[in-house]
Structure 1
């Protein structure tokens, strides 16, 4: 059932959608931020851990998750409360959330690539990765930001310069056009391809070395859990981009279901990639005891 364009923009169900999303983002933000603070505190207080590239990438990954959920609370809260925020502010908050959201998958790709280099090239990769890690991160973030700024300039040319400072009750979202969706799919497929290829090469190397035989259930289970977690990120996002913004009760329900799956993945990402790490596990309980003594 399709609704009129006016009803699609200002109807009560769209405000309800924003209210539900803001509430879910708040729960995800609380869980993700709590675990992120613990993990970053453990890493920052240990010189050996601070030198680990995989843990540096993990901290960036967790910061992206917390920032994404926090900005989601702000953006959806402005829509749910009809805050009459200026259109430019809506774009800035949404653009920042979009950038750190891409950073979630981007850092996962860098983590998978780093793991592949460490396993398959143990002698040559550590010095190269350690010297280039910050340049790679800076270059990746610069590319993401410039890409999103370019998309906003392309799709945000219709409003006049004066109108971007006028209030927008429901904070309309741009980037629903075909060019934005095509570039969005490409930006999703590229890091996903890096992750899948890296995992395949790691699996092939591990199988040749005997790490993925039938007796080593834990290694195979770890790979499966990581792939499942990544699929919970990618599948809802691809469906969001493919469907675009549509009206109707069916798309409303589908949107919330996909969003629920995606939010579930955000909550458990710090657990899967963070607290399941052996180095962090060994230092978690001593760190907690020190905090209790203080």
Structure 2
């Protein structure tokens, strides 16, 4: 069911792997969170942007990335430091990270579907999707949580109930059995099919309408960049689930390579789907200028207050 130092006898490799992953997660968490804060602040402060369904899905997507990287720091840090955490705590942290990780791909699928509806059904899609966007998000998150809870109940029945409260130095993961891997592969393949079909239909409609002619290089480049970014998400994930946790130096090296590719995609996801958005680009520079003006005003206010307090002290001394 799980992968630990007892059945592989290479705890040093596990600790090294966790240390590398925790370090990479710290970097990706810092980059993703900083961009997420900026984009979320811009969207939340503008009424027109808050009504844009694409940007609502984008904010949820970026929050999933930040949460995934933050939980990765916690989980891999527990393994790297050999914190002797209870097995139940390890499973809860890993389960939360797995859920928000699937949320990354779910929101990508929702963004692709929304783009398809905007292009192919421009008259009906805005009102239809706008009314149902929060119900769609609620339904998707409910599906993810129920799926993972069900798998945890299936694979978590092997150990005795008392053993889940015992300490586990290397925090062995769960959901490594064949049923969880098959369901995980099917779930990811379904999301990948939705994304690819949506982009194929978008390309067909754009080509019919003349948007993907030779002169419009930017439209074709955008589709290619999105497909490349999605492949950096999906290919490492599918390979990782398909191979499972296996012993040996080769599998550890392959695991780190796949993880590095996936982490690279997490860093650039906010840039590809966020800062390449025209509406956000138009609001970004005024927002940054406004923030600088506010910081300058607060700095001047502090200087005035300090000078007044110094003057009052001088008058009192005189």
TM range (shorter): over 0.9
Indicate the residue corresponding to 1:27 in structure 2: 27
Measured in 2, the distance between the counterparts of 1:177 and 1:183 equals: 10
Q: Which residue pairs with 1:70 in the alignment?
A: 70
- Contact 1:120-1:202 at 8 Å conserved across structures: yes
| Maintained 8 Å contact 2:5/2:170 | no
Deviations along 1:15-46, whole A, 9 cap, x unmatched?
A: 00000000000000000000000000000000
Greater displacement, 43-52 / 190-199: 190-199
1:286 and 2:286 aligned: yes
Taking the TM superposition and a 5 Å limit, the aligned residue runs for 1:26-65 are 26-65=26-65
The aligned residue for residue 92 of structure 2 is 92
- Structure 2 CA distance, aligned partners of 1:14 and 1:86? 18
Check conservation: 1:8, 1:14, Cα contact below 8 A. Answer: no
Instruction: Point out which structure has higher relative CO (alpha carbons under 8 A, 6+ apart).
Output: 1
What are the Cα deviations for residues 41-100 of structure 1, in whole angstroms up to 9, with x where unaligned? 000000000000000000000000000000000000000000011111000000000000
Helix, strand or coil: the match of 2:246?
A: coil
- Secondary structure of the 2:160 match is coil
Aligned residues: 291
Normalising by structure 1, what TM-score?
A: 0.97
1:230-245 mapped onto 2 (5 Å cutoff): 230-245=230-245
In the other structure, the counterpart of 1:199 is 199
Instruction: Tell me which residue corresponds to 2:157.
Output: 157
TM-superposed CA distance for 1:9, in Å, is 5.5
Q: CA deviation at 1:171?
A: 0.5
* Residue of structure 2 equivalent to 1:268: 268
Gaps of 5+ in 2: 295-318
CA deviations on 1:166-190 (whole Å, 9 max, x unpaired) are 1111100111111000000011011
Task: Name the TM-score, length of structure 2 as normaliser.
Answer: 0.90
In the alignment, the residues of structure 2 paired with residue 9 and residue 232 of structure 1 have an alpha-carbon distance, to the nearest angstrom, of 32
CA contact (8 A) 1:10 1:170 kept: no
Q: C-alpha separation between the residues in 2 aligned to 1:196 and 1:290?
A: 40
Which residue pairs with 1:148 in the alignment?
148
| 1:123-134 matched pairs, under 5 angstroms | 123-134=123-134
Tell me, in whole angstroms, the C-alpha distance in 1 between the residues paired with 2:96 and 2:153. 15
Distance 1:5 1:288 in 2: 50
Map Cα deviations across residues 230-284 of structure 1 (whole Å, 9 max, x no partner): 0000000011001100111111111111100000000000000000100000111
Q: CA deviation at 1:6?
A: 2.6
Checking the alignment, whether the CA contact within 8 Å between 2:36 and 2:59 is kept in structure 1 is yes
1:87–1:166 Cα contact (<8 Å) kept: yes
> In 2, distance between residues paired with 1:202 and 1:175?
36
Distance apart, 1:10 and its partner CA: 5.5
Q: Distance in 1 between matches of 2:62 and 2:50?
A: 15
Q: CA deviation at 1:8?
A: 2.1
SS at match of 1:162: helix
Q: What stretches of structure 1 of length at least 5 have no aligned partner? A: none
Deviation at 1:191, TM superposition (A): 1.1
| Distance in 2 (alpha carbons) for counterparts of 1:62 and 1:68 | 10
**Which whole-Å CA distance do the structure 2 matches of 1:228 and 1:55 have between them?**
21
